[in-house]
């Protein structure tokens, strides 16, 4: 089994889906502004700082700390594809020497005029065998649990209209 982990460079994506009682365009506009992401992810992505002043659309990004156990928990994400009103893709890096690739995509499907299905797919690609072993020993389940909670919080924020925290700002 260890040989398989060491040789495997494949990515094991984590998919989470939620139905939100809001129009697709409203959900898309919220997600296309990366400054909003700390509101629903701050239970595992903390200390957010924007990488540029404009937080909306392609090229907008943020740097944050992941609360998972370990010493190298800083990561960044940049919105690389913003295809209104159905797809947002963020790519980034994190971990030791930023050698772990991150990819998070949000696919929005209109269920009715006031109901949107949001599918979040998180992919983490570890460069080193030691990182892949650590991920196989619990990282996948950790991402699944945290992603599911983030999607529940996103639904709550959008349906109830209540923000949970501060928006990310540019670091001073």
Structural domains of the chain in order of their starting residue, each with its CATH number: 13-160 (3.30.530.20)
pTM listed for this prediction? 0.86
Predicted confidence at residue 2, as pLDDT, reads 32
Per-residue pLDDT of the chain (172 residues; tens, 9 = 90+): 333 333 444 467 999 999 999 999 999 999 999 999 999 998 999 999 999 999 999 999 999 999 887 778 899 999 999 999 999 999 999 988 888 899 999 999 999 999 999 999 999 887 766 566 555 655 678 889 999 999 999 999 999 987 666 778 886 5
Torsion of CA 11, 16, 17, 22, to 10 degrees: -110
Predicted confidence at residue 164, as pLDDT, reads 65
The stretches of the chain forming alpha helices (DSSP H) are 2-7, 24-31, 37-41, 129-134, 140-160
* Residues 171, 91: Cα–Cα separation, whole Å: 20
């Amino acid at each position: 089994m260890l040989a398989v982990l060491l040789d495997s460079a494949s990515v094991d994506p984590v998919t989470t889906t939620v139905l939100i009682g809001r129009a697709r365009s409203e959900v898309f506009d919220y997600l296309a502004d990366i400054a909003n992401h700390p509101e629903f992810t701050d239970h595992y992505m903390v200390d957010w700082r924007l990488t540029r002043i404009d937080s909306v659309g392609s090229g907008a990004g943020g740097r944050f700390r992941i609360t998972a156990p370990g010493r190298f928990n800083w990561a960044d994400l940049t919105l690389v594809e913003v295809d209104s009103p159905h797809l947002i893709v963020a790519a980034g890096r994190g971990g030791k020497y930023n050698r772990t690739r991150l990819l998070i995509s949000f696919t929005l499907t209109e269920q009715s005029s006031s109901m949107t299905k949001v599918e979040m797919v998180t992919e983490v690609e570890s460069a080193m065998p030691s990182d892949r072993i650590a991920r196989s020993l619990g990282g996948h389940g950790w991402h699944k649990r945290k992603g599911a909670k983030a999607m529940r919080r996103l639904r709550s924020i959008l349906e109830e209209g209540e923000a949970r925290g501060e928006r990310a700002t540019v670091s001073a």
